[in-house]
Structure 1
């Protein structure tokens, strides 16, 4: 029987090609968009789902409740790992994690590998299966090395790596390591990744930090027994904080910090491994907003909902032309459920065709989608049976939503009315109008959000940061050997476009190596606790970056004592509380420093934050991970290519390219830029699908009012008055939609803007512009049919029954 319904449905749809085409086009585009957006959300939520102990592994972070708010620290001192093992009930394994891209060589082959320095517990905590070796003994000795399959293939080709000795450059010293195990390649949905593992004791500064409770440099992760809940673990960490961080708690109390709801000034918090990817406090996160996958899913639902609205409106409107068919079926004894099944089968057939077209469209658009939104999606995700089941359930849900209501509405019409030729779907006009309002409300909401995000991004790019971004190139040198750094400095010094060169432990913005960070230092000065961001730099730092010196001087090679000198910013000077901070001396981290200069505040971090206190110091022993090169050129692209070529010539294995600082600062807001693209794309799709439906509805409405138009023309109505009469009902609906969307978009965007220390103000004209745009789009969509109806010959119009 259902096959018969499908055949009849196909014939009916073939007779109504225009409406079928509008529905199929709208649904295909919507399902394609929803499919890509849903895959994005699923990919983000699938991170670390292969980890067998993901519910029992946590990363620790620290909350300091200060006077000016809560400060987050993601690192702990080195002795903390041993304390957690011994003093926290239920802890099974603990690991510290350090490392970087390090230079690795075997015989005549040299490559950079992502070397992670961990404790022996690492391979017992995480589900990284070993192809060769034993997880319990692979990191027993300090000279043991674990490689991934890909790293082993790069170093040894087809040879068996077990037992082979390789060398790793750590702190400009080559250290031998013996390969003890080979792990599977890391899945692409893993928050934690590595190419090689060695023991944590191999970190460059281990001798200095091994018993130091005042230096926090590395993240800590732990695994607890299944019986230990996260709430219990957090409670058990409180006495650890009191016992080993008492000095810091005392400082926070003395500074007038605001305790949390339990009266604690310092808290050790936890992040479950399953939440690591999207947590803002994770050291392994991407910086992606936790709301991002939900936003993808909501946008998918909204776009699909708009297409379903079109389907419902067109199905109900098209039923006015099928009165004879419905009446005949009812007169011959057709039951309501049979009529419902007939009309629903038409909806199913349309949706199924749309699904096939959307799969083809998604396959074609996937590479472009990945490139535009910086994703790495593939249809391999459908290897998960639950995802296929969810997609199928969603598809049937869409067919029920889009076809169910029209089928129910049409099947329940009064047979007497139908046989009299008066098909009256009472209330259908109100439903139709409400659905049109919903469509344009979604479109107006997305357009408003896009406009405000775009304005904020332009504001960020135009805001002076206090340093030179357009003429300074950042070169990520990572852990390159010292001789390579000396060589690049000498080569660049001879380039005519290069004005000055400096270096720093930290980058400005986010370079092409993808890294960013900060280092917080706390100390007491005259009874007050001072917290500051600290950065180790090289000579000519202020000169190269164009910082404004307000007092004192910059670092100079003419002063040998500058190794104990510091240059501070205005915020740091305020924290010290001295009218004239020059030449004052303070002790921080066991070292005495004296202030030699004060620079004007500059935004060394994102504009999401207020400018914090900053201390710049000089240290010959500290490794500088970034070079900054100030250039004077009229051909920045050619200059960049030249500097990149020089660096690759000196270090051909480098993985990261140089970039201008304005590119780096743009990367700080790539999430906002991504949101802007997504909202814009969603708005375009919403408007496109809404206009398709509005156009088809306009065709039907004009056809139904054809006789009315003829009478009005005979009575002397002008073309313009008729066009306005036919269009104004639609324009009213659009205006209502925009007015309804305005407070919602204002609330959402105001909350988003509050995440920036500096942001634009939402202006009334933004929403007025959106309103005008929506009205123009609706008018352009409906006016063509309105003009056509107004210009029709009234004689022909009056012949309509």
Structure 2
């Protein structure tokens, strides 16, 4: 019986090659797109899930309230973690991380290890990062201990055993010992590092006494809590803990702390605080919805084409019923045909997936999967999905086809029912409404990305080469040496550049009322040429000048956002006001125009600038266009002569600043590609229905042509019905797309407005796609010989 069903199904599919091809192609593309999205969503949701104690690990976050603002931070002061473990039995263990960028030297080879973390010795007790060599209990216990990832160790030692080997760190050539080798941290870990250095190296060697500084933020802290700990009850004890240890100092400084616990598994997707790598739960939701849409459109195509062809199979069903076939047998037969189509699509999906996976990983910006056979459950999941789609999508057509009355269909009086026509039209409207909504979404994402790249940032970033000296003693000599190069126009130094991390400084500024108002303000240490080089406009007062000897100790410049924070109606009012910041007292000498020193996803924050040459490790070089490679080579030559122990690394500021939008750009590219696939599947369905409509009206078209109808008249006849459906789809899609894209834009502090022409453009694009799809078949039908058309029975 099964063999007979299979044979009939195959013959039927082969007899209707065009419709079978459209169905298989739609299902294949739909399955492939959905499977890619499934892997992406699964990967994003799996972050940090490999830690066996993950449900007991929490990140310690801290809100800092000052008279000026509330700062929601992802880091804490250094003494918090050890004292929390001492005071609360609920805390089983803790580990802290701190970012580092260290020079590592072995023999005559040097590397600037940017992906480095200081970490407490309890790291391997809290987290399940696998140590393949060394003792996890002691690997990071002693000062000057190093743990490498397997890849990083190979870079330094090749195939030799690195355990016990000595390397030199930083410009001071501090000897450190390799005490462990760990597996490369998984791609779905928010914590990633190629090199771990014992925290005691930081707290005892680089920053002695930092463990006692209750106001010094910089430790990213994770707590391992004991099983069944009541999180709310533990958080309720934190205010008393802060009051006991640091209450008087905080009150004097007018800075008040609130501690919170964030579950490890929610930090990556749900937290908006700074820290390690972060994702977006909104993007996960969006792609999940797109996957459902694509699958839904593919199923709609299947149902539409199958039920539309019901007239062709009516006599077959009538004869089979007459010879004894039951309704259930017919249902099994038709569902079997659907499942067969889906199994063919499943096989093609595997081939297509394997071919497109490298491209998908590139678009996603991470290795989502190394191959479909990486995990056997992927194949099983895809197979179950294909069979499930075949069963669900085939059930309604099977029910409709098996319900035909043999007496009616064998007399030739069968016609498609009104309900069937309404259903098909409703499904076409649905799939095109989804497609138009995706077109609108794609346009909005593109316009927002273009806006972020083209917006005036308030500073010059063109032809700006940035070099980090990492505080090398020869940095000033290097600056002077490259200043005289032919194509170097201007050189300036600073502690940070736009788009890079910078320090927050405890500050007291005289406000409008004459009081010293406390605030935590971003601070740039700069030299005299910085404002000129970056073309940052001074709107009140003056810039720093070598003519004023007190500028190095008693002068501050702030931006317009800071002026507003302290209550001044105009920038001129802030000039001459008193400030205290990190042990320095002085006057505000100038106000600069706001510029975007952070991402456009954030509002412009209050910023202060001071002359502090010893903290200016970043060298910005404005180079002339033309012979850029020669200029860089000349700069590198000076570097090697003056800083021979450090590798020469540089970047261009415009590219560096735009890296902040890398996540959004990847989202935009993925969104665009999946939207195109959804539209393609919709077009396949529309092409199939247009083809079938032309086939059903073959004799009518022939008669109309004999009566004088032109090709244009025939095309209009066949097209207008479908174009009406596209117009209805547009009316449905527009408000829905506006609502969801408006919500997405709220994550950006600076964003576009969704204007009417975006919807008009989407409607025109959808209309052109529909016309192009329908016209192909309509013109083909209109050009057919009317004599042959009228012979069709």
Query: Common fold, TM-score beyond 0.5?
Result: yes
Matched, 1:772 2:771: no
Matched, 1:601 2:568: no
Give the alignment of 1:192-341 within 5 angstroms: 192-203=191-202, 206-207=207-208, 209-243=210-244, 246=247, 267-281=258-272, 283-341=274-332
Q: State the Cα distance separating 1:548 from its structure 2 match.
A: 0.8
Q: Partners in 2 of 1:381 and 1:420 — Cα distance?
A: 52
Equivalent in the alignment of 1:148: 149
- Per mean C-alpha deviation after superposition, the further-off stretch among 231-240 and 529-538 is 231-240
- Per mean C-alpha deviation after superposition, the further-off stretch among 361-370 and 431-440 is 361-370
Equivalent in the alignment of 1:789: 781
Equivalent in the alignment of 1:6: 6
State whether residues 42 and 293 of structure 1, in contact with CA within 8 Å, keep that contact through their aligned partners in structure 2: no
Q: State the Cα distance separating 1:641 from its structure 2 match.
A: 7.2
> Per the alignment, do residues 618 and 701 of structure 1 end up closer, same or farther by CA in structure 2, a change over 3 Å counting?
same
State whether residues 502 and 522 of structure 2, in contact with CA within 8 Å, keep that contact through their aligned partners in structure 1: no
Q: Partners in 2 of 1:168 and 1:554 — Cα distance?
A: 38
SS of the residue corresponding to residue 76 of structure 2 reads coil
SS of the residue corresponding to residue 218 of structure 1 reads strand
Q: Partners in 2 of 1:576 and 1:248 — Cα distance?
A: 23
> Per the alignment, do residues 197 and 593 of structure 1 end up closer, same or farther by CA in structure 2, a change over 3 Å counting?
farther
Matched, 1:759 2:779: no
State whether residues 540 and 554 of structure 1, in contact with CA within 8 Å, keep that contact through their aligned partners in structure 2: no
After TM superposition, the score normalised by the length of structure 1 is 0.90
Q: Partners in 2 of 1:648 and 1:768 — Cα distance?
A: 58
Q: RMSD between aligned alpha carbons?
A: 3.0
Equivalent in the alignment of 1:665: 657
Q: State the Cα distance separating 1:397 from its structure 2 match.
A: 1.9
Equivalent in the alignment of 1:61: 61
Q: State the Cα distance separating 1:770 from its structure 2 match.
A: 1.3
> Per the alignment, do residues 718 and 69 of structure 1 end up closer, same or farther by CA in structure 2, a change over 3 Å counting?
farther
Query: Which residue among 518, 529, 532 is the counterpart of 1:543?
Result: 532
- Per mean C-alpha deviation after superposition, the further-off stretch among 50-59 and 561-570 is 561-570
> Per the alignment, do residues 430 and 488 of structure 1 end up closer, same or farther by CA in structure 2, a change over 3 Å counting?
farther
State whether residues 51 and 127 of structure 2, in contact with CA within 8 Å, keep that contact through their aligned partners in structure 1: yes
Q: Partners in 2 of 1:244 and 1:643 — Cα distance?
A: 51
SS of the residue corresponding to residue 338 of structure 2 reads helix
> Per the alignment, do residues 354 and 638 of structure 1 end up closer, same or farther by CA in structure 2, a change over 3 Å counting?
farther
> Per the alignment, do residues 587 and 437 of structure 1 end up closer, same or farther by CA in structure 2, a change over 3 Å counting?
same
Equivalent in the alignment of 1:258: none
Describe the superposition over 1:325-384 as per-residue Cα deviations: whole angstroms up to 9, x where unpaired: 111111111122211221122222221121221221221122222333423233357544
State whether residues 149 and 182 of structure 2, in contact with CA within 8 Å, keep that contact through their aligned partners in structure 1: yes
Matched, 1:124 2:125: yes
- Per mean C-alpha deviation after superposition, the further-off stretch among 445-454 and 581-590 is 581-590
Q: Partners in 2 of 1:231 and 1:707 — Cα distance?
A: 76
Equivalent in the alignment of 2:494: 504
Q: Partners in 1 of 2:132 and 2:758 — Cα distance?
A: 59
Q: Partners in 1 of 2:765 and 2:757 — Cα distance?
A: 12
Matched, 1:588 2:578: no
Q: State the Cα distance separating 1:424 from its structure 2 match.
A: 4.3
Equivalent in the alignment of 2:467: 475
- Per mean C-alpha deviation after superposition, the further-off stretch among 302-311 and 375-384 is 375-384
SS of the residue corresponding to residue 213 of structure 1 reads coil
Q: State the Cα distance separating 1:595 from its structure 2 match.
A: 2.3
- Per mean C-alpha deviation after superposition, the further-off stretch among 486-495 and 187-196 is 486-495
Describe the superposition over 1:656-685 as per-residue Cα deviations: whole angstroms up to 9, x where unpaired: 953333223322222332232223222221
Q: Partners in 1 of 2:607 and 2:128 — Cα distance?
A: 40
Q: Partners in 1 of 2:243 and 2:446 — Cα distance?
A: 46
Count of residues in correspondence between the two structures: 781
> Per the alignment, do residues 50 and 754 of structure 1 end up closer, same or farther by CA in structure 2, a change over 3 Å counting?
closer
SS of the residue corresponding to residue 50 of structure 1 reads coil
Q: Partners in 1 of 2:338 and 2:505 — Cα distance?
A: 61
SS of the residue corresponding to residue 499 of structure 1 reads strand
State whether residues 66 and 518 of structure 2, in contact with CA within 8 Å, keep that contact through their aligned partners in structure 1: no
Q: Partners in 2 of 1:612 and 1:247 — Cα distance?
A: 29
Equivalent in the alignment of 1:519: 504
State whether residues 314 and 401 of structure 2, in contact with CA within 8 Å, keep that contact through their aligned partners in structure 1: no
Q: Partners in 1 of 2:314 and 2:638 — Cα distance?
A: 79
Equivalent in the alignment of 1:260: none
State whether residues 143 and 177 of structure 1, in contact with CA within 8 Å, keep that contact through their aligned partners in structure 2: yes
Q: State the Cα distance separating 1:562 from its structure 2 match.
A: 3.2
After TM superposition, the score normalised by the length of structure 2 is 0.91
Equivalent in the alignment of 2:666: 674
